[in-house]
Structure 1
Amino acid sequence: MKSELYDTLEKWHRPLDKLVFRLMIMGLGFFHVSLLMWNPHTYADSVGGFNLTVTVFLIWSVCASMVFGVGFKPESVIWKVIFSPYISGLILFTFTVMRLI
């Protein structure tokens, strides 16, 4: 039996559950991983350096974008919130803006 919160989260995620959005968010994740792997010092300088907060948000958002991008749908409410495409997309978009400005 699913909870009301689970149904609400499903309803919120339904608009992004399209191939275009999956590819876009997963592409942002690949973009940041490739930049980080290619030249970590330049990437760190462009996002304001690596500290604990930046590192945790980067790893979290990239992992969440991959989970969402491959189409995995968590069954637990807590995992649905942690791997939310809205949160990971916002974090990756913020890193993209920081990188390009």
Structure 2
Amino acid sequence: MAYEIPVTQARAELADLINRVVYGAERVVVTRHGKPLVALVSAADLERLEKLDAVGDERVVSSVSGVGGMAPGPGPASAERQRFGIAAERRGPGVS
């Protein structure tokens, strides 16, 4: 769980908060009017978050690529076009 602190107090205690994050392995959530505004996390935590984000992006691209590669005509792709009401399809150059 993260330590929460109002933004006005965080301004006055920034050096201490940085030390808590770096040396105490804490996460600090800065709030405004009781709502989370920003979080202070270690550089190692940020790196882990960015790696997780990149993995998620790769999964989305992979899923979209798989859908885009479906062949036209009868079969699963045709059923999907009917299901979502898609009347047109993109064809590559030179395909009539």
TM-score (norm 2): 0.29
The structure in which a higher percent of residues are strand is 2
The structure in which a higher percent of residues are helix is 1
Instruction: State which structure, 1 or 2, has the greater radius of gyration over its C-alpha atoms.
Output: 2
TM-score (norm 1): 0.28
